[in-house]
Structures are given as structure tokens and as C-alpha cells.
A = this chain, B = another copy of it.
Amino acid sequence: MELLKERILKDGTIEEGNILKVDSFLNHQLDISLLNEIGKEFRRRFPEKIDKILTIETSGIGIAAIAAQYFNTPVVYARKIDSKNLEKDVYETKVYSYTKGKEYTVKVGKKYLNKEEKILVIDDFLANGKALEGLIDIISQAGASLVGAGIVIEKGFQEGGQDLRNKGIKIESLAIIESLSDGRVIFK
């Protein structure tokens, strides 16, 4: 998606440890016009019947909420923390975060994912794929059906996307980064 790539080149910054920061439009400040274009592009790439969009807190929520308008579906966001306000009756799975260097639990209330529903996963980043694998596990526990995953930015130099595609999962990433070396973003 050219508009997105141009924006990454213009406003993205690269921090120590090959971390691409897109806080000015995707992660901390949200450019709602851009998110609408992203939502339209996800719809174009996933013309299939979709019953529900599943994402994961925190940074997936704004993207998924705007995109859902083009699918006419609700959004469910998986929660990473124990919260007093969350259902006791949940599907849960463990996810290892390389960014945070620890394992955490991801939960979705059972009543929000139903058998045979067609689920599109949307998230901001795909790198090692652990969060996405966790969501896929939860979808499977629910007996729902994964249509695919719409990702805004994939780190193509990490193995997550390729591993999941090799398992037959449809993954559509709007910008795939081949390299972040020397402080420059190179797209695939």
C-alpha cells in the first residue's frame, strides 16, 4: 500500500534494536484518515464473508475499529491482563513477547467468539508471529474459522509471517519491511 509506505518513510523512525517507531500515526497518535484508507485496503484484500474482527490490545484496537466499518462487523479485542471487568468464562492462551522479554496470558470471553463464525484478525505489526499464533489458537478453541490476518506492517526479516503462510494461513500485510539496517527502511 503506497500511501502507507510513503508515510512510514516520512514519519517512521528507527530506534536501537531494530525497532521501527510509528508512534506519530499508528501507535500512540492515530491518523484517522490513514486508518480509513487502511481499512478500505483490508476490505479489498479480504472480500470474503467476515462475521467478526479479532485484534489484541492495545495498538490493534484503533486500527480494527476503523477497519470494521468496511466489514460491517463488531470488533473483539483480546486482553492481555487480568482485569476485574473481564468475563471469568474465557478462552486463553500464553504468548511470549520478545519486546517485553516475558510470557503473558491472552484472553477472550467465550461469549464473544462463536462456533463457525468467520474471523478476520487485524493487528498493527507482525514480526515473530507469537501474538498472531495466540489469537489463532483462541479462534481454534472457540471452533470458529480463521479467514486470515490483515497486518499493517510486517517485519519481513523475521520469520513469523513466512512460517504462518507455510501453514496455509492467508496473511495480507500492507507494508513488508525487508531491512531496517543502517537506519534505513527498505521495503520488500
Contact = CB atoms under 8 A, between A and B. Distances in A.
Contact of A87 (B23, B61, B65, B111): B23
A99 interface: yes
15 contacts: A15-B85, A19-B85, A21-B85, A23-B87, A28-B112, A29-B76, A29-B112, A31-B74, A32-B73, A36-B69, A61-B62, A62-B64, A62-B65, A65-B66, A66-B69
Contacts of A27: 85
A73 B109 CA distance: 32
Interface string A44-68: 0000000000000110011011101
Interface in A150-181: none
B30 A75 contact: yes
Task: Across the A-B interface, give the 5 residue pairs with the lowest CB-CB distance, nearest first.
Answer: A62-B65, A30-B75, A61-B61, A32-B68, A29-B112
A11 to B, nearest CB: 11
Contacts of A85: 15, 19, 21, 23, 27, 99
A72 B33 CA distance: 8
A43 interface: no
A77 interface: yes
Contacts of A17: 84
A35 interface: yes
A79 interface: yes
A23 B62 contact: no
Interface in A71-108: 72-77, 79, 84-87, 99-100, 108
A110 to B, nearest CB: 11
Given A65-B65, A85-B21, A28 B99 contact: no
A61 B62 CA distance: 6
